[in-house]
Structure 1
Amino acid sequence: MKHPVDVHVGKRIRHRRWLNGTTQQQLAEKVGIKFQQIQKYETGMNRVSASRLWEISQTLGVPISFFFEGLEEGEGETAQAAGGLPADIFSDREALELLRSYYAIPEHQRRRLFELARVLSAAA
């Protein structure tokens, strides 16, 4: 049975890997394991050891604490965060792709797009 902490850590690994544009294969090669192991970590099927989590954090450029952020709130799959967003928005592939695309836009255009989104959401 999957432990909720292992599932949460796995989701955070997937979230950061995806934001970085890193594939499971690339991450696995950098930490010296097979990509299937990354898959098992990301689904919470296998626990990530402390030393492996440290290697993953170094590879993905985040502190180890990143993988535990949000755990205290007890976020569940169906929980809602402020503003009507799913509490676990980072498990939504579309949301992650939107974030990555957003930050790939030059800053001055990004600000304009942000303002447009605010106007559209207010009108909805």
Structure 2
Amino acid sequence: MKHPVDVHVGKRIRHRRWMVGMTQQQLAEKVGIKFQQIQKYETGMNRVSASRLWDISEALSVPVSFFFAGIEGATEEASGAAVPGDILADKEALELVRSYYAIPENQRRRLFELARVLSDAA
């Protein structure tokens, strides 16, 4: 059985990898392992050792703590205590965020204000 912490860390690895536009193969090469191992980490099938998580954090340019952000909600969800809206679990939402940050900052601010107005009108 998968441990909720392993699943959470794996999701955070996948989300960060996807946000920086890196494939599993590219991450695996940077870390020095096979891409199949990255797949297993991302699904929570295999636990990530501390040293490997360090290597992954370096390859993805985030602190190790990034992979544990929101862990309280993940463990509560696994026990049935809460159902967090894990927006980053939705591939469309991830693509939207990635596209949003590709827009120049001044246009991005205007788009944000438009989205806020539209959401208030709905």
Shift of 1:75: 5.1
- Given the superposition, is the C-alpha separation of residues 109 and 89 from structure 1 closer, same or farther in structure 2, using an over 3 Å criterion? same
| Matches of 2:56 and 2:24, distance apart in 1 | 11
**How do residues 20-99 of structure 1 correspond to structure 2 at under 5 angstroms?**
20-73=20-73, 74=75, 76=77, 79-80=83-84, 86=85, 88-99=86-97
Q: Which runs of 5+ in 1 are unaligned?
A: 81-85
TM-score by structure 2 length? 0.92
Are 2:115 and 1:111 aligned? no
Residue in structure 2 matched with residue 6 of structure 1 by the alignment: 6
Q: Which amino acid aligns with 2:61?
A: G
Aligned length: 118
Q: Which runs of 5+ in 2 are unaligned?
A: none
- Given the superposition, is the C-alpha separation of residues 75 and 107 from structure 1 closer, same or farther in structure 2, using an over 3 Å criterion? farther
RMSD, aligned CA: 1.4
Which aligned runs of 4 or more in structure 1 are off by greater than 3 angstroms? none
Residue in structure 2 matched with residue 83 of structure 1 by the alignment: none
TM-score by structure 1 length? 0.90
% identical equivalent positions: 80
